[in-house]
Amino acid sequence: MAVRAIRGAVQVDADEREQVLEATAELVSEVMRRNGLDPEDVISVLFTATPDLTSEFPALAARKLGFVDVPLMCATEIGVPHALPRVVRLMAHVETDRPRSELHHVYLRGAQALRLDIAQ
């Protein structure tokens, strides 16, 4: 098994607790589904949020999905003036037999604009 990193992002409509949790849950679920992963395959997940999202920790959504013993961390993205607003990002470190070329990075909603080269 190799350790691989999978990236993803989702844009939230508004800085409201339920919207942050729902969008983050959608993102985590899609990363897991598209890469054929179970929580046991996940080593850790780093979540970041743009400075305009402060209503909830994105990691709570992963906890609610069953990531009970996976190390999770939240941080704030740097406040770049021209950055896309209201974005939750993740970088998941996973154990997998898949080569990097077969991993699926997930960019949802408005966050697809961040990586048009790989957004699906």
Domain coordinates of the chain in residue numbers? Answer: 2-115
The pTM (predicted TM-score) of the whole model is: 0.93
| Average confidence (pLDDT) over 5-12 | 97
| Average confidence (pLDDT) over 92-99 | 96
* 98 flagged as catalytic: no
Residue among 82, 83, 62 at smallest CA distance from 73: 62
* 107 flagged as catalytic: yes
User: Considering 34, 98, 109, 115, which one is annotated as catalytic?
Assistant: 115
Phi-psi region of 109 (alpha: psi -120 to 50; beta: other; left: phi over 0): left
User: Considering 7, 34, 98, 109, which one is annotated as catalytic?
Assistant: 7
pLDDT value of residue 110: 84
| Average confidence (pLDDT) over 5-19 | 97
* 63 flagged as catalytic: yes
Structure tokens belonging to residue 85: 């607003």
* 26 flagged as catalytic: no
pLDDT value of residue 113: 78
Banded pLDDT at 120 (limits 50, 70, 90) = low
Architecture of domain 2-115: 2-Layer Sandwich (3.30)
Which residues, listed in sequence order, are joined to residue 47 by a DSSP beta bridge? 74, 90
* 18 flagged as catalytic: no
* 100 flagged as catalytic: no
pLDDT higher than threshold 80 for residue 27: yes
